[in-house]
Chains A and B, each alone.
Chain A
Amino acid sequence: MKNVIIVDYGMGNIKSLYNSLKFLGYNPVFYSEEKNINSNIYILPGVGAFNQAMKLIEEKKISNNLKNFVKNKNNLLLGICLGMQLFFEESSENLETTGLGMIKGKVKKLSDNKNHILPNVGWFETSIKNDQAFGYLKKFDKQKFYYVHSYIAEPIDKKNQVASSLYNGNNFCAMTVKNSNIIGTQFHPEKSSEIGLEFLDMLIKNSIN
């Protein structure tokens, strides 16, 4: 059974991610610094605030391990929701906080309009572009995935953005990639019913070395 590492830095509901991986036939393992677990697939989940998450990641000294992990092109790092946002340089949530800095760009509030409803919650159609490394995900173009968020990532280089969805008529970044082995989704595949499970499964299958 293939090990898949869930990076547990002590925030958010990681139970559903664990259950979805198990359901798909993988062996989900929670990351901790001491253990030497063998897997080329890491998932960085996250629900909650950016500054709190970064604080925990720094405290647990996870940051450098993640950066070293992605140096190997055979390794895959998937970030989900806040997990994806942490890939970026900084976020304006609560306080200006420095992120992992793997992808150039910032995380900012979805809207400052007081009449707009936040968080943005629901199943939204997601447009997926063809990406060289993750071309196989194109088959999920126009599918609906489950989102719950108030912040979005804004990559400076548009080639880091491979999917978008709509909030009050405006496009926002739904999926981001870097090199051929870092990918993040703003939506929650582990909460997006059968289509979300298929998405996760395909990503893992295509990355097993």
Chain B
Amino acid sequence: MRTIARIDIKNQDVIKGINLEGLRKIGNPENIVKEYYLNGIDEILIIDSVASLYGRNNLFDLIKNITKEIFVPITLGGGIRSLKDIENALNSGADKVAINSKALEDPDFLSKAVSSFGESTILVNIEAKKISEERWEPYKFCGREKTNLNLIDWINTIQDKGCGEILLTSIDKEGTETGFDIDLITNVHEIIKKPLIVSGGCGNLNHIQEVKKRFKDVSVAVASVLHYKILKISEIKKLFL
């Protein structure tokens, strides 16, 4: 089980929203990433939250700078829409890319990405929203656009096309600090064949403890608890000793 710091960036700032909306500025990305690294975070996930607005990821330079002194795996997401984007991300120093919207538009893109860069480089980011009892739907563009797909079908598709990891973000829980979306994770856990990272809702240690207790082999991505200094990374890591 890994603890991954999720860092959403808008323009030059680390930001944090609620349900992927209503963004609040947190601070300077380089300083924040470095602080988490020095405190022992397992991995770092950096998402350009306005990339789809500009049609491209704007964080290659940031990745170039931070990877000169940060030596844990770094995943870059947001606006990754071509093989060239993936190449640029890796050349900047990222280890993996997170892909959402592009995969939803063209699932075969995942097969191409995996055969060009290896599956361990490709993480699929799913932003899921509850539609009705026992039914969730993956969303595009940082939770802004519906797809009318069934989440279970979508997970089967991406596992079939190829990917190295799955990041499952609950739009309903994101930024609420009310706990991970246990119903959502329960709903999909049995069909997951790839390393799963759950994101959205972490507000305290019990929330992480609950994921650990209920699900085997599931990692957590956290944001608010680190950004608002509710938890120390060392406290979280003690749970996994």
Residues of A participating in the B interface, judged by any CB pair closer than 8 Å = 12-13, 15-16, 19-20, 22-23, 47-49, 114, 117-119, 121-123, 146, 148-150, 190-194, 196-197
Are A146 and B72 in contact (CB-based, < 8 A)? Answer: yes
Which of A12, A23, A122 makes the CB contact (< 8 A) with B68? A23
**Cα(A16)–Cα(B66), bound, Å:** 11
Given contacts A16-B71, A146-B72, A193-B37, contact A48 B117 (CB under 8 A): yes
Which of B1, B67, B71, B121 makes the CB contact (< 8 A) with A197? B71
Which of chain B's residues have a CB closer than 8 A to the CB of A118?
193-194
Are B164 and A121 in contact (CB-based, < 8 A)? Answer: yes
Which of A16, A48, A117 makes the CB contact (< 8 A) with B195? A117
Interface centre among A118, A148, A149, A190 (most CB of B within 10 A): A148
**Cα(A122)–Cα(B197), bound, Å:** 11
Interface centre among A118, A121, A191, A196 (most CB of B within 10 A): A121
Are A190 and B71 in contact (CB-based, < 8 A)? Answer: yes
Which of B1, B94, B117, B193 makes the CB contact (< 8 A) with A122? B1
Interface centre among B37, B69, B72, B91 (most CB of A within 10 A): B72
Which of chain A's residues have a CB closer than 8 A to the CB of B55?
none
Residues of B participating in the A interface, judged by any CB pair closer than 8 Å = 1-2, 37, 40, 42, 67-69, 71-73, 90-95, 117-121, 164-165, 192-196, 217, 219
Are A121 and B120 in contact (CB-based, < 8 A)? Answer: yes
**Cα(A117)–Cα(B166), bound, Å:** 12
Are B95 and A16 in contact (CB-based, < 8 A)? Answer: yes
Are B164 and A119 in contact (CB-based, < 8 A)? Answer: yes
Are A47 and B164 in contact (CB-based, < 8 A)? Answer: no
**Cα(A49)–Cα(B196), bound, Å:** 22
Closest beta carbon of chain A to B2's beta carbon, Å: 5
Are B91 and A15 in contact (CB-based, < 8 A)? Answer: yes
Are A122 and B91 in contact (CB-based, < 8 A)? Answer: no
Nearest opposing residue in chain A for B1, CB measure = A122
**Cα(A117)–Cα(B217), bound, Å:** 8
**Cα(A117)–Cα(B192), bound, Å:** 8
Are A19 and B118 in contact (CB-based, < 8 A)? Answer: no
